Structure 1
Amino acid sequence: MKEKRDERGGGHSSSSRNHKNKKSNNERRLGGRALSLHAFANAKSAPSSSAYNPSIIKKQREFYKNAKFVSKFKKSIKREGQSAVNISPERRLESVHENNNENKKRAFVNKKKKKGSLQDLRKEFEKKQAEAEKEKMEREAIIQAKTQERARAEARRKAQRENMFKKTRSGQPVMKYRIEHLLQGILDSSN
């Protein structure tokens, strides 16, 4: 009985060959073997030039922003270092006192400006409101003129259509209006 199975191809060795063939065919069809877990993770995290990755863009923005702040900070320290070398200690104290006095004066002036600025802001707001209202009225007037013109044109077309479809008692079309329409078209095209 065993010999008969081998002859028909039902033995164990032929089924393993079929399985290998199916597996290789599937791999060929799907484009190769599957990735390992490690390779898959690296493939997903590696930035490709064509892929859009918002997190990388965000990191780059943050990096450049920080670099900008660092360069500003270095420049300010360099300026302070140069000014500190040129000014004597007594002069530094005087400049600090002068700066404090100036800051107090500025604060006082700013308070006055704030009181006046409320009135200025109110005037500016009212002016903008008036301009917006004026523009709105102009737009409405334009829209109304267009609708009136459209209605007149529609009435003209309706009257012309009625004239074109008029018929005599015997059912023939009245040619008078059709000829007038043709002549009007010729005159308009020649002008």
Structure 2
Amino acid sequence: MKNRNPKDAVISGEKSDGAKPVYNKKKNMKRFGRQGRSLDKSTNSYYNPSVIKKKREFYDNAKHVKKYKQLVKQQRTDVPSAIEPLEEENETQDGSKMSKNNKKRKDREPRNLIEIYEKKHEEQEKARMEKEAIVQAKKEEREKCEARRKAIRENMMKKTRKGQPVMKYRIQHLLETIQGSMNKL
């Protein structure tokens, strides 16, 4: 760069407004064998977060649409067989009577897919309610512990007008811990 000649700066005789001089283009052509990469922002060759975000949203939406279509297709296949009335259970396709064992087994089985769905749904609902009850109990217990700790901490931090700690609460806390340890033995 030090040995640059001012005549080399303007080969074509003019310089564009604020743009790079023409000699850079020619040097790049010689060095790379073709035109060098442009730094112009108008092309899409640079990193653009908004474009990347739009592409990601497009693919996410496509994935959700695909899942939705699969669910709809599955429901269409399940519903007609669930709604169709079952044939008489006592007779087979030949018209002959079923044995007692087969009849008992059929009676124990759910009549159609709707009943299966309802039973499964009820079981899931019960399991969900039990989980919620457990979570709620743990949450209440945690809140009680936090409230107790907060009250103890407030009492331990109390100070007199002169800035000395109030010993009444500290001694009371020590006494409670000693009695608790005695009760465990």
| TM-score normalized by the length of structure 1 | 0.38
Q: Which has the higher contact order (CA 8 A, sep 6+)?
A: 2
Give the TM-score of the pair, scaled to structure 2: 0.39
Write 1 or 2 for the structure with the bigger share of helix.
1
